[in-house]
Amino acid sequence: MKSQIAGHLLVECLVAQGVTHAFGVPGESYLAVLDGFHAYREQINFVTNRQEGGAAFMAEAHGKLTGQPGVCFVTRGPGATNASIGVHTAFQDSTPMVLFVGDVASDMRDREAFQEVDYGTFFGPNTKGMAKRVERIDDARRIPEYVARAFATALNGRPGPVVLVLPEDMLTHTVEAAALPRVLPAKASFAPEALQNLREMLLKAERPLVIAGGGGWTQQAAQALQRFAENWQLPVGNAFRFQDTFDNFHALYAGDVGIGINPKLAARVRESDLIVAIGPRLGEMTSGGYTLFEVPKIKQTLVHIHASAEELNRVYQADLAINATMNTAALALESMQAPASVPWGAWAKGCNADYLANMAPQKLPGDIDMPAIVASLQKHLPDDAVLTNGAGNFASWVHRFFKHHGLAKGFKTQLAPTNGAMGYGVPAGIAAAITTGRTVLTMAGDGDFLMNGQELATAVQHGAKTIIVLLNNGMYGTIRMHQEREYPQHVSGSSLQNPNFSVLAQAYGYQGVRITHTDEFEPELLAALARTQGTLIEVMLDPDVITTRGTLSAITQTALARTKSI
């Protein structure tokens, strides 16, 4: 057992856990760890970010892509609070992640020292907090224990984020300790009687619907889910922003159950007599603001399968609650013997027909045809391309019109925040490019881009190429839409004075172009795919085109008519 400073031991522990990339903004509170990254630079890469929120988003995106905890390092106080947006995203998205926070020295603690924060209180490890566990390492000899426990906590049950606090003086101690072996996630079993109960429920059903999503999915689980659906001819909808869980090209795909849901799919959810929810939390977005299903007991028979026992029956009382990881659950479901025929064949075909009909766009004003632009993406992006986005109405174009082959084909292809965090798409895309080398397409809005657009500097520094399609309509579109619904023609705080984004991208080292007509897009996309340099394509979108289904002016007129009738 060799003697080394604690900061080096910490990095050795990360290498032992299989970590290849760590994201962060350097700080004087963890200089010993930075020196450790230098010592182990052949085995692990420290990605230097420009802001801690971007670093945390990159770590979260890495966790989504790999299924292994994404790692982020930040300094105390402002560094940790900046990073909290990524921790919250990892919590609500059920993504494994470990945030390391360099802290004040032990002899300065509890005096409100420079940048001191009570991280246990701030990150609050509970069902209403941001992290599954928050711990402080005061004894350098226990670094291997704490790191292994953090990775186990991040991976086990419902995946999520863990925060480890690192006192600055502890990291400089010389210690004799060795890294522990790599942690493997535990597998919650699928009881045979539960499988039998589910089979009996299916045999009694006439209009069943599967909703799949949440964290913890693997290629093996997704393929087993597909075989289960095929065996029983079950229509499958994907939960909000988990659209790559089930193949969107499959004849049993029903669409995504989330914001901007196909009205016909919403009707199908309400009309179904059996919901089999595999993996999702059935949170506000997937439940349509808790309107698709009544709280706490829905009228449909509900089977809820989740990796965390604490999540089961927390909001919705299930008729059958099953605590199982996605691999265990999907493999068990695949093995369940199906009858020779099922009575819901027409129902399943109707669900898919409704999805396909929803792909037909409405006619909207302006010189930019967004469905046609998404069709170009579908035509030219490789099947394993990663699509990322932040939060805003702009994301609805790819959510509605882009079709993912998904995990069943071997790749996770959608990175999007279920907690509605703006600024996620750009850093998530850069993380995907750095760690996988795959083609990455980021859909961003103008307000969304400016929250983490500076991470283009990170992309250029680390040789990452992404393609960003930036929709510029000069406003916080989602807020403006709600504003016109509630306070028509009272515009306040939602208008934006923007830079020339194409020129800004060039300043960072990206190629930047601006288009004003649809036919300009495809050549620019092909050029972006061909070049080794990253590209930002700024699309000047008519401000009236506010959703995939309607205009801002129509929303205003409806709101004004409602106001006059009161």
What does the pLDDT look like over 319-336, one tens digit per residue?
999 999 999 999 999 999
What does the pLDDT look like over 331-378, one tens digit per residue?
999 999 999 999 999 999 999 999 999 999 999 999 999 999 999 999
The pLDDT, as a whole number, for residue 563 is 82
What does the pLDDT look like over 377-389, one tens digit per residue?
999 999 999 999 9
Q: Where residue 23 falls among pLDDT bands split at 50, 70, 90?
A: very high
| SS3 label, residue 395 | helix
β partners of residue 137? none
CB of 175 closer than 8 Å to CB of 5: yes
CB neighbours (10 Å) of residue 204?
Answer: 11
Every domain range in the chain assigned CATH 3.40.50.970? 3-176, 370-565
The pLDDT, as a whole number, for residue 108 is 86
Mean pLDDT for 395-417 is: 95
Q: CA-CA distance, 287 to 185, in Å (whole number)?
A: 29
Mean pLDDT for 453-472 is: 98
The pLDDT, as a whole number, for residue 438 is 97
Q: Where residue 126 falls among pLDDT bands split at 50, 70, 90?
A: low
Q: Where residue 124 falls among pLDDT bands split at 50, 70, 90?
A: confident
What does the pLDDT look like over 224-274, one tens digit per residue?
999 999 999 999 999 999 999 999 999 999 999 998 999 999 999 999 999
Mean pLDDT for 459-475 is: 98
Q: Where residue 138 falls among pLDDT bands split at 50, 70, 90?
A: very high
Asked if residue 565 has pLDDT above 90, the reply is no
CA distances from 392 to 294, 494, 525 (A): 27, 13, 22
Asked if residue 476 has pLDDT above 80, the reply is yes
Asked if residue 125 has pLDDT above 90, the reply is no
CB of 501 closer than 8 Å to CB of 515: no
Give the mean pLDDT of the chain: 96
Return the minimum-mean-pLDDT range out of 30-34, 145-149, 258-262, 516-520.
258-262
Class level of CATH domain 3-176: alpha beta
What does the pLDDT look like over 169-191, one tens digit per residue?
999 999 999 999 999 988 888 88
- Distance from chain centroid for Cα 228: 25
Q: CA-CA distance, 54 to 494, in Å (whole number)?
A: 23
What does the pLDDT look like over 481-500, one tens digit per residue?
999 999 999 999 999 999 99
Mean pLDDT for 68-84 is: 97
CATH topology of domain 192-358: Rossmann fold (3.40.50)
Asked if residue 564 has pLDDT above 90, the reply is no
Strands (DSSP E) contained in 168-249 are 174-176, 208-212, 236-239
Asked if residue 127 has pLDDT above 70, the reply is no
DSSP per-residue string spanning 268-282: HHHH-SEEEEES---
- Between 219-232 and 326-335, two packed helices, what is the crossing angle to 10 degrees? 30
Q: Residue with structure tokens 């960003």?
A: 468
What does the pLDDT look like over 286-315, one tens digit per residue?
999 999 999 999 999 999 999 999 999 999
CATH: 3.30.1130.10, 3.40.50.970, 1.10.238.10, 3.20.20.100. Which one for 370-565? 3.40.50.970
Q: CA-CA distance, 366 to 376, in Å (whole number)?
A: 18
- The pTM for the full model equals 0.96
**Percent of the chain beyond pLDDT 70?**
99
